[in-house]
Amino acid sequence: MLRMALPTGRVLKEAQRLLAAAGLSPAEDLSATRRLTVPSRCGRVEYLLVKPVDAPLYVEQGVADCGISGKDTLMELSPDLLEPLDLGFARCRLVVAGKPELERKGDNLLSPVRIASKYPRVATNYFRKKGVPATVFKLSGSVEIGAVLGLSHYIVDIVETGATLRENGLVVIEEIAACSARLVVNRAAYYARLEEIRELMQHLANATGATP
Ligand code: PRP
């Protein structure tokens, strides 16, 4: 049986839809069960239900052979694993956002700009590449408040519909990357279980219309 780490939370429903379309439906509704490991109906895959931020670790360490993870999480964690397939769902953008009156041209290069983010590494690297000194505060959620109430000048966060930014009076200032859900595979498992993983990739690719 292949083990696949699946992120709980907002992408789980779409992941489950994709697995069903690929003929790999879980034996139980993953959004309803309290079990953390659930086999597929066909018996070829066992799903591990884990926090989105932990999914790459399970795959990197070989506890799971493969998994689904958002590109935003992968950019933040830089895990050592293969990323063979863009699954095409959970599309969003990683952006720099802030109050509309702030313009990046106005950054004071002599005193660090303050950034609040769930993605401190992405934020640090982005501003470093631009040559702008930055102090990055790591938050765990509700990041927008950071920029609204002055903890930070900007936030680095994902935007999907744009509603959260809009409803908090913030705007996108720059786009860092376009993100979506990716199939990730453990390096050793890819070679040791090549046939099974290729087959899985083919089923998923057929279901998404992507090329493996
Ligand atoms: C994410 C993200 C934004 C929001 C963007 O937060 O951090 O706040 O979704 O989505 P939108 O553009 O469709 O409004 P999430 O819902 O994961 O909650 P969190 O703030 O607790 O992290």
Ligand 1 lined by 157 (C-beta under 6 Å): yes
Task: Decide whether any atom of ligand 1 lies within 6 Å of the 95 Cβ.
Answer: no
Distance 164 CA to ligand 1 centre (A): 7
Q: Report pLDDT for 111.
A: 76
Task: Report whether pLDDT(110) > 80.
Answer: no
Protein residue with its CA nearest to atom 22 in ligand 1: 141
**pTM of the full structure:** 0.94
Return the biggest CA–CA distance within the chain: 60
Give the residue-averaged pLDDT of 35-57.
97
Kindly give the pairing relationship between strand 66-70 and strand 181-185: antiparallel
pLDDT digits (tens, 9 = 90+) for 31-44: 999 999 999 999 99
Please give the share of the chain, as a percent, with pLDDT higher than 70.
95
| pLDDT attached to residue 105 | 63
d(CA 161, CA 182): 20
User: What confidence category does residue 149 fall into, taking pLDDT thresholds of 50, 70 and 90?
Assistant: very high
Alpha carbon 13 to chain centroid, angstroms: 15
Please choose from 91, 92, 117, 159 the residue to mutate so as to test ligand 1's pocket, defined by most ligand atoms within 8 A of CB.
159
Instruction: State the average pLDDT for the chain.
Output: 94
State the CATH architecture for 2-91+180-208.
Answer: 3-Layer(aba) Sandwich (3.40)
Distance 158 CA to ligand 1 centre (A): 7
| Cα→Cα distances 205→154, 198, 211, Å | 37, 10, 6
Cite the residue boundaries of each domain of the chain with CATH code 3.40.190.10. 2-91+180-208, 92-178
- CA 73 – CA 71 distance, rounded (Å): 5
What pLDDT, on a 0 to 100 scale, did the predictor assign at position 210? 72
Task: Calculate ∠ Cα 10-14-20, nearest 5°.
Answer: 145
Closest-CA residue, ligand 1 atom 19, reads 141
Structure tokens at 19: 């697995």
**Percent of the chain scoring above 90 in pLDDT:** 90
Judge if the beta carbon of residue 167 lies within 6 A of ligand 1.
no
* 122 CB burial (10 A radius; 0-12, 13-18, 19+): buried
Residue with tokens 């994709």: 18
Q: How many Cα atoms are found within 13 Å in the side-chain-facing hemisphere of 124?
A: 11
159 lines ligand 1 (CB under 6 A): yes
**The CATH homologous superfamily of the domain defined by 92-178:** Periplasmic binding protein-like II (3.40.190.10)
